[in-house]
């Protein structure tokens, strides 16, 4: 996972540099749609996690369909989002599969970003699709790295080429860090206690080991910041920044 994270940073940096080098000034000709749809759906690229100010590892791909669910070629799609975020391209016409792909660069503020893709029907009625991505600030990036090193093997039920999940082998299943229905109800103090002293600190399973001698206070706080940011449904707390606002 760590190697994959580094590759993501490297690739994102190359994309940003290339974008700066190939920019050409001048007006861009208006795109003229040759097709119109009735629905806009996400094909891939939503709910990604990346560092602030960087291009997401995977492009965002949306598809325009007609009323029968058939892909529409030549439909105009436009992307928009919070200040600081950008798209390459910001708009375009769907291909023969009814799809349009764009590279998404996150803004400089950590938080949950809500983006929108829009197209129009033949009657010029706007059709909108909301997509959410997550930007990690420095503290959340540290938390992500700690999760990858110490937590994900048990808390993430999905295996990856870099890590085989142990989740299904455990008698008491650990909560995934995205499981907001459970973790949002726990205070920061409770999370600090269970991370530092293990499951028994909150009368939970002893399969959750203590990390108080492994992680510093700052590292535990970074891990909690990461958990709070990726929570689904979103975690709401006073003073927390939400990029879409």
In this structure, the answer to whether residues 153 and 47 fall within a common structural domain is no
pLDDT digits (tens, 9 = 90+) for 120-164: 999 999 999 999 999 999 999 999 999 999 999 999 988 888 888
Considering the domain boundaries, does residue 245 fall inside one? Answer: no
Digit-coded pLDDT (tens) for 73-86: 999 999 999 999 99
Residue 4 pLDDT > 70, yes or no? no
Q: Answer whether 113's CB lies under 8 Å from 106's CB.
A: yes
Q: Which of 136, 168, 198 is the last residue of a domain?
A: 136
User: Which residues does residue 116 pair with via DSSP β-bridges, in sequence order?
Assistant: 80, 130
| Domain count for the chain | 2
Q: Give the burial class of 69: count Cβ atoms within 10 A of its Cβ; 0-12 exposed, 13-18 middle, 19 or more buried.
A: exposed
Q: Is residue 13 part of a domain?
A: yes
Domain holding 79: CATH number? 2.60.40.10
Q: Based on DSSP, count helices (H) and strands (E) in the chain, helices before strands.
A: 6, 9
Of 136, 152, 186, which marks where a domain is finished? 136
Q: Are residues 164 and 110 in the same domain?
A: no
Question: Is 56 found in the same domain as 158?
Answer: no
The 10s digit of each residue's pLDDT in 10-67 is 344 444 444 444 444 454 578 999 999 999 999 999 999 999 999 999 999 999 999 9
Range of the domain at 105: 2-18+33-136
Whether residues 95 and 64 share a domain: the answer is yes
């Amino acid at each position: 996972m760590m190697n994959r994270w580094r590759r993501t940073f490297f690739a994102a940096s190359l994309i940003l540099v290339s974008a700066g080098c190939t920019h050409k000034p001048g007006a861009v000709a208006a795109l003229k749609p040759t097709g119109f749809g009735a629905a806009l759906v996400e094909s891939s690229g939503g709910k990604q996690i990346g560092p602030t100010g960087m291009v997401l590892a995977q492009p965002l791909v949306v598809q325009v369909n007609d009323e029968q669910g058939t892909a529409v070629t030549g439909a105009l799609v436009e992307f928009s989002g919070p200040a600081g975020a950008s798209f390459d391209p910001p708009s375009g016409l769907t291909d023969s599969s009814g799809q349009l792909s764009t590279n998404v660069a996150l803004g400089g503020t950590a938080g949950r970003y809500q983006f929108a893709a829009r197209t129009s029907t033949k009657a010029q009625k706007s059709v909108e699709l909301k997509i959410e991505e997550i930007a990690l600030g420095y503290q959340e990036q540290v938390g992500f790295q700690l999760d990858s090193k110490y937590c994900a093997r048990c808390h993430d039920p999905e295996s990856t080429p870099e890590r085989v999940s142990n989740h299904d082998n455990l008698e008491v299943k650990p909560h995934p860090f995205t499981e907001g229905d459970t973790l949002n109800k726990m205070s920061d103090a409770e999370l600090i206690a269970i991370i530092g002293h293990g499951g028994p600190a909150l009368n939970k399973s002893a399969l959750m080991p203590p990390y108080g001698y492994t992680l510093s206070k700052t590292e535990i706080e970074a891990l909690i910041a990461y958990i709070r940011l990726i929570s689904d449904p979103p975690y709401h707390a006073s003073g927390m920044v939400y990029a879409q606002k």
